[in-house]
Amino acid sequence: MKDIISLFFAYARTGLKTRFQYKLDSVISTFAVFFREAAGIIAMYLALLKFDTINNWNIDELLFLFSLIFITYGIFIVFFMALRDFSDWIKHGDFDRVMLRPRGLLTQLVLCGADWLAAFGHGTLGIILFIISANRVGIQWNFGMAVYYIVVVISGVLIQGAVFLFFSAISFYVVETNSLKEIFYWNMRKFAVYPLSIYNKFIQSILIFVVPFAFVNYFPAQFFLRKADMAAYPEWMMYISPIVGIVLYILAYAFWRFSLRYYKSTGN
């Protein structure tokens, strides 16, 4: 474990040195990520000046919902960015290089793929939204609440990591999975930043059972906020995000290990 931690920091130093060869570009890229994502929140805020609430969720409660998406994604791309872009690793022959090293394949992908600048942009935005909203939404913060918040953030990271681990395993069969990721992750993520209850049953089912973003932010937020629209779902769904994260990641890892035997180099 000590060696793995040392390797992680060695990769992190190397990655940051590489990116900061062009310091101005790196700084601009970080702020570009921040302002690109913030633009959607500003648009929502301006809309709420007209409509006041979305299905009884006010602006502060929606910001709390948004914050979970951005914080979990900011952490996710520190550890799982190589899985997000895994089809490119196969197309360019980079996975062959990983297979020749005396470390576990998934361990290497987790350690060496961090995008620290994008993580800073997303994570900073998430933290700002949390700070703005956390004391305005009526949550009675205590030690137990704080611990559960940390647990659901970790769960949200695991859920998104599991989704991309599934996509990575599919790449062993078809190589290119960008269209699948666009449909089942990026488009679903756009839905997930708003309350689940505003959508029809079909979209709700996808966000609960197919790409379970509902357990990244909506149900964890309901644990803290106890909004009336939670009555449409079983109460126990507010508590099982950690279980969903662990189980989904184990299933994704099993599928990855099974699919690995079907890998064929592209020869690049």
Residue 38 near residue 30, CB atoms below 8 Å: no
Question: Residue 265: its pLDDT value, please?
Answer: 77
Q: How far apart are CA 71 and CA 67, in angstroms?
A: 6
Q: How far apart are CA 2 and CA 10, in angstroms?
A: 12
- Residue 11 — very low, low, confident or very high, per pLDDT cuts 50/70/90? low
* Model confidence pLDDT, tens digit, residues 23-43: 676 667 777 777 777 887 887
Asked whether residue 20 carries a pLDDT value surpassing 80, the answer given is no
Cβ contacts of residue 86 below 8 Å, gap of 6+?
95, 109, 164, 167, 168, 171, 177
Read off the pTM.
0.88
Question: Residue 23: its pLDDT value, please?
Answer: 65
Asked whether residue 133 carries a pLDDT value surpassing 60, the answer given is yes
Asked whether residue 250 carries a pLDDT value surpassing 60, the answer given is yes
Higher per-residue pLDDT: 209 or 122: 209
- Residue 170 — very low, low, confident or very high, per pLDDT cuts 50/70/90? very high
Question: Residue 12: its pLDDT value, please?
Answer: 62
What's the CA angle centered on 77, arms 207 and 36, to 5 degrees?
Answer: 80
Q: Which two tokens stand for residue 23?
A: 């310091």
Question: Residue 103: its pLDDT value, please?
Answer: 76
φ and ψ at residue 54, rounded to 5 degrees: -120, 105
Share of the chain above pLDDT 90, in %: 49
* Model confidence pLDDT, tens digit, residues 179-214: 889 889 999 998 998 999 999 999 999 999 999 999
Cβ contacts of residue 235 below 8 Å, gap of 6+?
none
Q: How far apart are CA 13 and CA 61, in angstroms?
A: 37
Q: Which two tokens stand for residue 159?
A: 């859920």
Give the mean model confidence (pLDDT) for residues 12-28.
Answer: 65
Q: How far apart are CA 80 and CA 89, in angstroms?
A: 13
Asked whether residue 268 carries a pLDDT value surpassing 60, the answer given is no
Question: Residue 80: its pLDDT value, please?
Answer: 86
Residue 109 near residue 6, CB atoms below 8 Å: no
Q: How far apart are CA 248 and CA 161, in angstroms?
A: 9
Residue 116 near residue 15, CB atoms below 8 Å: yes
Asked whether residue 22 carries a pLDDT value surpassing 70, the answer given is no
> What secondary structure, in 3-state letters, does 98-133 show?
HHCCCCCHHHHHHHHCCCHHHHHHHHHHHHHHHHHH
Give the mean model confidence (pLDDT) for residues 114-133.
Answer: 86
Asked whether residue 153 carries a pLDDT value surpassing 70, the answer given is yes
